[in-house]
Every structure is written in C-alpha cells, then in structure tokens.
Structure 1
Amino acid sequence: MTRDVTTPDSGGGDVAVVIPAAGLGLRLGGGTPKALREINGESILRRAVRTAAAAPSVALVAVAAPADRVEEVVALVAGVSGARIRVVAGGASRQSSVAAALAAVVEALPIVLVHDAARALAPASLFERVAAAVRDGAEAVVPVLPVADTIKRVSTPDRVAGTVDRAELRRVQTPQGFAASLLRTLHAGAGAELTDDAGLVEAAGGAVRCVPGDELAFKVTTPFDLRIAQALAGGTTHPTTGPPAE
C-alpha cells in the first residue's frame, strides 16, 4: 500500500528522504510503535518528517510505516509542509522497510538520504550537509561524531581484555546520503541484514565519506533517551544547531 500525502507547497529539490518507521522499538517500552510515541505532544515520526521536509534540497519524504498503521501515519503527517510526503507499508526489518520506501520513490531524484525516525531532533542543516557532500561527488556519506568515552574490549561480561584506541572511532548518525542509483543497486542485491545502509556500500567495497554530525541527531532508543529528547525539545518545534566544534 502506498499513499501520497499532498501538500500545497511541495519542494523542488533534488533529494528524496527515506524514513523507515515500521519498527516496534521494544527497548522504549509502552506497547506503541516507537515512531508514534510523542515528544512534548508531537510524535517522534512527525517531528522527523517535518524537519526533513523543511530542508531546502528535499523534494520528497517517503515513510515506511507499520503495515497495519498506514492510514494512521498518513493522518499523522498530513499538513507537513515543504516537500511531498509519501507513506508506504514497511517490512519486518529495517532493511526491508528502507527497500519498500526506496521503491516508492519513483521520481528521478539523484540523491537519497536514509534517516532514522528515532533521530527526531536532527536539524534540517544536517540533511543539507549530507546532501551537499553527495552532490559534491561522494557516492555514500555518513554524519559522524567523535567518541568521548574510553572504550574497552571485554572477554567475558566482567573481564576487560584491553583498551581500544578511540582516535579512529566515530559515532555514526543519520541521515546517511547516497547516489540514488547506487543505493537502489545495493538494495536489489542485499543479503544479510545490516544495521545501516552505509554498511551495504562498505560490503560492496565502496567508499563512504564522513561529514560532521550533530549532537541533536541522537537516537531515541530507551525511556531515558525519550526524557532527554523532551528536555531538549522544550517548548520549541524546530531546534537547530551547527556542526560540532573541532
């Protein structure tokens, strides 16, 4: 099932944003699919869609919804302005949901960004930064942040095996950007489930470029994360920040 959600001021950019939002989010608890939980009165998913649609380069946002809640999601994102919105039934896994939403992007848009709905506070400037790197010639782009904590390898749950050099480690966020033709090809031949779409590029031997991420693009996974998101969102509807300081 595919549903178009029309808006009066659909964008004319060169970017499609794919948002997989069909997961249950069991670690968040509560019984409601994670993307439909609320941050200060607005659902996680609507916040993510609204910000993506507001990015100037974005022409279309394709959402993979829980298969039994497509109409609910259509109603939820109705009225979001700035880009065309399309809702499709997602799959049983993140990878299958991305593939379903990607298949619904029938427009000839050269850049696709894949964004986790759970990173609902990611600012529009981050979408633009990732898209610009793809436009500049990168086939795949991920926003990253340095790792601040000391990282240990463990041999058993209570035994340290060594310390990892964090200089080469980065926390990877979304949106992740791709040349649309490459992402379609990789999803068509995808095998084992991976935790992000950049992993498909890596598995195929391709190069993935890094750009600065944003602290607001953290992933709401646990009840504690949700409380942080609520505190950060406060009474605002569209928080923004720039790239992290070097």
Structure 2
Amino acid sequence: MHAVGIVAAAGSGLRLGADLPKALVPLAGRPLVAWSVDALRAGGVAELVVTVPPGQRDAFAAVLPADVRLLDGGATRTASVRVGLDAASVTADVVLVHDAARPLTPPDVVRRVLAALAAGHPAAVPVLPVVDTTVVVDDAGVIRDAPPRAALRRVQTPQGFDRAILAAAYARLAPDADLTDDAAVVRAAGVPVVTVEGDERAAKVTVPHDLAVAERQVRR
C-alpha cells in the first residue's frame, strides 16, 4: 500500500507568541514540523508533502529532508490540504493528513490508521475519550445542555483516507469551504469514518502552555 502524507504547516505562530510560522517553532531544538514529518516516516509513510506559508519554502527546506515536497498553502487549513492533495502522487493508494502542530504523535498511531485503511475502511481517524463533563452554552454563556460523554471522542491526526475517495470529496466541496478537519470533508460526502485509538502524546501545540508540556515530555 503506497501512502502519501500531507502535513498542514501553513499556520501562523501568533497564538504561540512567536514571530515565525508555528511549524518552525522549536521543540527541544527542532522545529515542530520536523518532528511531525519524522513521526509519519517512522509509522510507514514514505512520500511526504508539506504545505507551508507562502514565501517560506526556503526556511522549511533548511530543516526538512530534501525528498519532502514543499508547496505554498492556502488561506485556510482546508485550502492547504486541497493543495497538498492535488500534488499527491496519483499512484498513491491512501493519504494521511497530519497537523504539523502535533509533533509528538507516536508512530504507532500512524500504523493504526494505516492498518484500518489496509483492512478496507475508506477513512480512519485516531480518537481519545472525553473525560471532562462537556456542556453546551448559549451566547450569554449559560449552560443549556450537557450531552452524555460516553459516546464523545476527541479527534486527532493523522487522519487517513482512500486517496480517490478523499479527492472526490474535496472535488464536491465548495472552493471557499473551511471545515475543521478532513474527516468532516468526507463525512459531508456521505463516507463513513472509522476510529482507531489515539494517544495523549499526540496533543496539539496551540498556545505556549502546550509547548511547555511538549518540552517536558521530550525531556523525560
């Protein structure tokens, strides 16, 4: 099975308080994107495409292996993934879409996603249980509902798809659509998405506290 990995790395570092793209923010001396690329490689993904902020290809090329393909990303995550998907090899059987901001994703998570696709599922995403009480609030911040958490899950990446199915789902999507993840793209096209076990170490780095937690994990 030929897998292509698309790493979404076009985000800014504003919420991290950085003056450079988020994916280039260092974690234990290496940029976040380098950790994420290595996780996909270690999990069994040979071909990598990274979507980067326009004008930043040289900066990314300086920290990534020469065989990683770099492309200018779009204004949104959905647009960036669309760019990467268009560039993915047509000989690929499956595509894994990963966030550069999930640098410590264990390779076993990648392998579980690939195994689900190899078993014939058209789409697979890693998830974790919701352990906190989750509530629905109105515009005034008043709690209106507390859905049972037994069936709720936190969704992570990499998210894996049959390449042709993901391409068809994106082709049906409005050009200006901005969905939260790629599972939402295929679900909008009626494609069932199976879940596999995620990992707490695959947490997303968004704010300085997240980066500090990741630093502690690396140094253990």
One-letter identity of the residue aligned with 1:69: Q
Distance in 2 between the 1:133 and 1:226 partners?
30
- State the one-letter code of the partner of 2:166: L
Residue of structure 2 in register with 1:217 after alignment: 202
Structure 1 runs of 4+ aligned residues shifted over 4 Å read none
Q: 1:70 aligns with which of 54, 57, 60?
A: 57
Show the counterpart of 2:35: 47
Distance in 1, matches of 2:56 and 2:119, equals 38
Contact 2:136–2:143 (Cα < 8 Å) also in 1: yes
On the 8 A contact 2:127/2:196 being kept in 1, the answer is yes
Out of 11, 33, 39, the residue aligned to residue 23 of structure 1 is 11
**Superimposed CA distance per residue, residues 181-215 of structure 1 (whole angstroms, 9 cap, x where no aligned partner):** 01111122222210100001111111000111111
Q: Matched residue of 1:77: which SS?
A: coil
**Displacement, 1:146?**
0.2
* Unmatched tracts of structure 2, length 5 or more: none
CA distance in 2 between counterparts of 1:36 and 1:71 reads 12
Q: CA RMSD in A?
A: 1.4
Q: CA deviation at 1:107?
A: 4.6
Cα drift, residue 77 of structure 1: 0.3
Give % identity. 42
Alignment of 1:5-24 (within 5 A): 14-24=2-12
What's the CA shift for 1:145? 0.3
- Cα distance between partner residues in 1 of 2:119 and 2:60: 34
Q: Residues 79-114 of structure 1: CA distance to partner in whole angstroms, max 9, x if unpaired?
A: 6xxxx4211111111111111111221250101000
Alignment counterpart, residue 85 of structure 1, candidates 65, 68, 75: 68
User: Partners in 2 of 1:136 and 1:78 — Cα distance?
Assistant: 31
**143, 154, 175: which one aligns with 2:126:** 143
**Residues in 1 aligned to 2:141 and 2:88: alpha-carbon distance in whole angstroms:** 48
**Cα deviation code 1:219-243 (max 9, x no counterpart):** 00111101001111117xxxxxxxx
Deviation at 1:156, TM superposition (A): 4.0
1:61 aligned residue? 48
The two structures have a TM-score, normalised by structure 2, of 0.94
Shift of 1:159: 2.0
Instruction: Give me the whole-angstrom Cα distance separating, in 2, the residues matched to 1:186 and 1:113.
Output: 15
Partner in structure 2 of residue 119 of structure 1: 102
218 and 147 in structure 1: CA distance in 2 versus 1, 3 angstrom threshold: same
Instruction: Indicate the residue corresponding to 1:207 in structure 2.
Output: 192
CA–CA separation in structure 2 for the residues paired with 1:161 and 1:38? 41
Which of 121, 126, 149 does residue 166 from structure 1 map onto?
Answer: 149
- In structure 2, the CA distance between the partners of 1:136 and 1:231, relative to structure 1 (3 Å rule), is same
The whole-number CA distance in structure 1 between the counterparts of 2:172 and 2:17 is 34
Counterparts of 1:134 and 1:21, CA distance in 2: 24
* Distance in 2, Cα, partners of 1:157 & 1:47: 40
Q: How does 1:220-231 map to 2 (within 5 A)?
A: 220-231=205-216
